[in-house]
């Protein structure tokens, strides 16, 4: 063993890559005697970030939208010199498919919660009774502060079932690919609970905290992406890592605590020594590496849903009914199997050659998981059948790219935060220097993952310095 300390990052998705990048940056800046290794099970980096270039189309198999207000991803983009490739979303309008038709999302709603009264009153999404019930938010007492509750229960109590089913549920399920009646309020949107407690009403609370916009105001773009595809960020971060940092095609199967440091048993049969370890894999894989510790068991129980992303490329002439907007979400009580569709050629024009159209739909509702296992042909038929109910598509796609993301969407169910606190405290007590970061733990958007990577860097450096 040398004096140099070895930090191993397990998993080469965006969490693992940003962890490795910021670790090496700090090591260089502070002249620390540490080295970093990234061990990745598959044959490529990026994890769920995966761009495919085909016939002039840029197809995102995984994420395509970076939330503009979350800064860590743009900081990373700048760090690796990709800032000139940031492009804003090109249209603000989006729709919810409810009551058999596309309804524009009311102006001024934030995650489906109205912050302006008139667009909400004139929306065709809700009946007069549903609107009246939503006004209950102004008079209903704050929920009792007795622990966690589901997102669904919280919003149903404040705004009623109709607003939840026709607007809030499609928006939030779109983010979490889960059932909002099972998902934890405190692990996903604790700020709504805080607004309720502070202002007595989430609508009042939002009105006071979200800056007012006039309809005539030029909307700042809510989402951004890279015109070179999000895999180009992965490549750029990789290119900044020291040579030999990354080892592909190697899974970490097991972690053992030794008198000093840790032994990582690799799928190659080799053993890697580590002074500190950052595990950035999905939760169920992390649990399998540490099965000997009972405190990790809740990660084996934690659900994860599957989705399939279906990209369909057309000649523009095949789509007879063109719609002005970036796409639509589908309400749970609609008779559709797709959960959402992005008109990618409109949302991100750089992705599509002139005269062509690119649609990107999702299947895999929480109660329709079996659809993800159907054949490509069957999935394509389901998607086209649903799309034709609103879009009048007259020709088959020129090609399709179907990506199944099995058990990819970690579900932060009620009590998630407390469970994570317990697991992380136990790690500190029993496995000092071992950290969890990534989509299964404290936020699943790309920026949330980078935030966790940055936080893991601080923890590792503090630990090794102590």
Of positions 323, 445, 459, 463, contacts ligand FAD by CB under 6 A? 445
Rounded to the nearest 5°, which phi and psi values hold at 302?
-65, 125
Q: Of 150 and 452, which has the nearer Cβ to ligand FAD?
A: 452
| Minimum gap (Å) between residue 443 Cβ and ligand FAD | 8
Quick one: 64 or 196, whose CB is closer to ligand FAD? Answer: 64
By the rule CB under 6 A, 252 interacts with ligand FAD: yes
Tell me if 64 contacts ligand FAD by CB under 6 A.
yes
Nearer to ligand FAD by C-beta: 116 or 351? 351
**Residues contacting 283, CB < 8 A, separation 6+:** 299, 302, 304, 410, 440, 441
Give the binding range for ligand FAD (CB under 6 A) out of 27-35, 60-68, 269-277, 350-358. Answer: 60-68
Site string for ligand FAD, 199-238 (x = CB under 6 A): ----------------------------------------
Sign of CA dihedral 7, 13, 14, 15: negative
Interface residue with ligand FAD among 24, 103, 232, 280 (CB under 6 A) is: 280
Cα–Cα distances (Å) from 456 to 46, 197, 275, 460, 465, in that order, read 18, 31, 14, 6, 14
Structure tokens that stand for 308 in this block: 């399939």
Q: Going by C-beta distance under 8 Å and a sequence separation of 6 or more, which residues neighbour residue 272?
A: 6, 8, 37, 39, 252, 263, 264, 266
Query: Residue 457: enclosing H or E segment and its boundaries?
Result: helix 446-465
Q: Characterize the bridge pairing of strands 262-266 and 276-279.
A: unpaired
Contact status: 246 vs ligand FAD (CB under 6 A): no
Closest CA to 306 of 383, 174, 405: 405
- Does position 364 interact with ligand FAD (CB under 6 A)? The reply is no
| Span interacting with ligand FAD, options 6-14, 108-116, 118-126, 234-242, rule CB under 6 A | 6-14
Alpha helix positions (H), 241-375: 283-289, 297-301, 344-347
Q: How far is the CB of 129 from ligand FAD (least distance, A)?
A: 35
Q: Which of 7, 9, 27, 49 binds ligand FAD (CB under 6 A)?
A: 49
Choose between 203 and 241: whose C-beta lies nearer to ligand FAD. Answer: 241
Report whether 90 contacts 348 (CB < 8 A). Answer: yes
Taking only Cα atoms into account, the Rg of the chain, rounded to an integer number of angstroms, comes to 23
Q: Which of 319, 439, 456, 460 binds ligand FAD (CB under 6 A)?
A: 439
Secondary structure element (H or E) that encloses residue 54, with its range: strand 51-54
Shortest Cβ distance from residue 316 to ligand FAD (Å)? 24
Q: Is 449 in the site for ligand FAD (CB under 6 A)?
A: yes
Residues between 14 and 43 with contacts to ligand FAD, criterion CB under 6 A: 14-16, 39-42
Strands (E) across 105-194 are located at 109-110, 113-114
User: Applying CB under 6 A, does 123 fall inside the site for ligand FAD?
Assistant: no
- Choice between 18 and 201, CB closer to ligand FAD: 18
Q: What is the 3-state secondary structure (H, E, C) of 358-426?
A: EEEEEECCCCCHHHHHCCHHHHHHHHHHHHHHHHCECCCCCEEEEEEEEEEEECCECCHHHHHHHHHHH
Q: Answer yes or no whether residue 116 interacts with ligand FAD by CB under 6 A.
A: no
Residue 59 interacts with ligand FAD (CB under 6 A)? no
- Verify binding: residue 167, ligand FAD, rule CB under 6 A: no
The tokens of 63 are what? 């994420």
CB-based contacts of 204, cutoff 8 Å, min separation 6: 137, 138
The least distance separating ligand FAD from the CB of residue 272, rounded to whole angstroms, comes to 11
Should residue 62 be labelled a site residue for ligand FAD when binding is judged by CB under 6 A? yes
Contact 16, 453 (CB under 8 A): yes
Q: Is 261 in the site for ligand FAD (CB under 6 A)?
A: no
Which stretch in 90-98, 125-133, 371-379, 441-449 sits in contact with ligand FAD by CB under 6 A? 441-449
Q: Which of 51, 65, 305, 331 binds ligand FAD (CB under 6 A)?
A: 65
Q: Is 446 in the site for ligand FAD (CB under 6 A)?
A: yes
What is the contact mask toward ligand FAD in residues 409 to 438, using x (rule: CB under 6 A)?
A: -----------------------------x
| Per-residue x/- track, 308-347, ligand FAD (CB under 6 A) | -x--------------------------------------
Judged by CB, which is closer to ligand FAD: 449, or 461?
449
Question: How many chain residues touch ligand FAD (CB under 6 A)?
Answer: 35
Cβ atoms of 333 and 99 within 8 Å: the answer is no
Q: How many H-runs (helices) and E-runs (strands) does the chain carry?
A: 17, 22
Task: Decide: 295 and 422 in contact? Cβ < 8 Å.
Answer: yes
Single out the residue of 151, 237, 307, 387 in contact with ligand FAD (rule: CB under 6 A). Answer: 307
Q: Which residue has the tokens 């900081």?
A: 75
Closest by alpha carbon to 405, among 378, 369, 436?
Answer: 369
Q: Which residues bind ligand FAD (CB under 6 A)?
A: 10-16, 39-42, 47-49, 62-66, 251-252, 280-282, 285, 307, 309, 405, 408, 438-439, 444-446, 449
């Amino acid at each position: 063993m040398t004096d140099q300390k070895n930090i191993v990052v397990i998993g080469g998705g965006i969490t693992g890559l940003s962890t490795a990048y910021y670790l090496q940056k700090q090591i260089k800046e502070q002249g620390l005697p540490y080295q970093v290794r990234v061990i990745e099970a598959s044959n490529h980096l990026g994890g769920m970030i995966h761009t495919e270039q085909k016939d002039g189309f840029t197809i995102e198999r995984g994420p395509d939208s970076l939330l503009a207000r979350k800064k860590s991803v743009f900081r990373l983009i700048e760090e690796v010199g990709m800032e000139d490739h940031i492009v804003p979303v090109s249209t603000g309008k989006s729709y919810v498919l409810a009551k058999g038709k596309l309804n524009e999302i009311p102006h001024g709603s934030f995650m489906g919660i109205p912050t302006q009264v008139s667009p909400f009153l004139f929306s065709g999404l809700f009946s007069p009774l549903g609107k009246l019930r939503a006004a209950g938010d102004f008079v209903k007492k704050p929920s009792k502060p007795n622990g966690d509750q589901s997102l669904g229960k919280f919003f149903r109590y404040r705004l009623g079932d109709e607003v939840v089913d026709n607007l809030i549920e499609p928006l939030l399920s779109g983010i979490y690919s889960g059932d909002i009646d099972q998902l934890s309020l405190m692990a996903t949107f604790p700020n709504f609970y805080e607004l309720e407690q502070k202002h007595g009403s989430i609508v009042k609370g939002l009105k006071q905290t979200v800056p007012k916009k006039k309809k005539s105001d030029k909307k700042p773009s809510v989402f951004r992406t890279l015109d070179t595809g999000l895999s180009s960020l992965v490549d750029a971060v990789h290119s900044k890592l020291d040579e030999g940092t990354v080892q592909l095609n190697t899974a970490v199967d097991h972690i053992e605590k030794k008198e000093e440091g840790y032994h990582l048993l690799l799928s190659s049969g080799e053993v890697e020594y580590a002074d500190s370890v950052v595990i950035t894999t999905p939760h169920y894989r992390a649990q399998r590496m540490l099965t000997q510790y009972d405190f990790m068991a809740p990660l084996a129980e934690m659900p994860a849903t599957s989705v399939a992303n279906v990209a369909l490329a057309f000649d523009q002439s095949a789509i007879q009914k063109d719609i002005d907007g970036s796409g639509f979400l589908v309400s749970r009580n609609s008779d559709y199997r797709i959960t959402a569709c992005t008109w990618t050629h409109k949302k991100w024009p750089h992705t599509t050659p002139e005269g062509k159209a690119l649609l990107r739909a999702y299947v895999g509702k929480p109660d329709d998981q079996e659809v993800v296992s159907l054949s490509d042909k069957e999935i394509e038929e389901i998607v086209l059948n649903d799309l034709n109910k609103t879009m009048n598509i007259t020709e088959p796609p020129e090609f399709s790219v179907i990506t199944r993301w099995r058990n990819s969407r970690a579900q932060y169910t009620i009590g998630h935060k407390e469970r994570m606190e317990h697991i992380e405290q136990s790690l500190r007590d029993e496995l000092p220097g071992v950290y969890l970061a990534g989509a299964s733990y404290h936020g699943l958007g790309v920026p949330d993952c980078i935030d966790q990577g940055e936080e893991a860097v601080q923890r590792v450096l503090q630990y090794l310095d102590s």
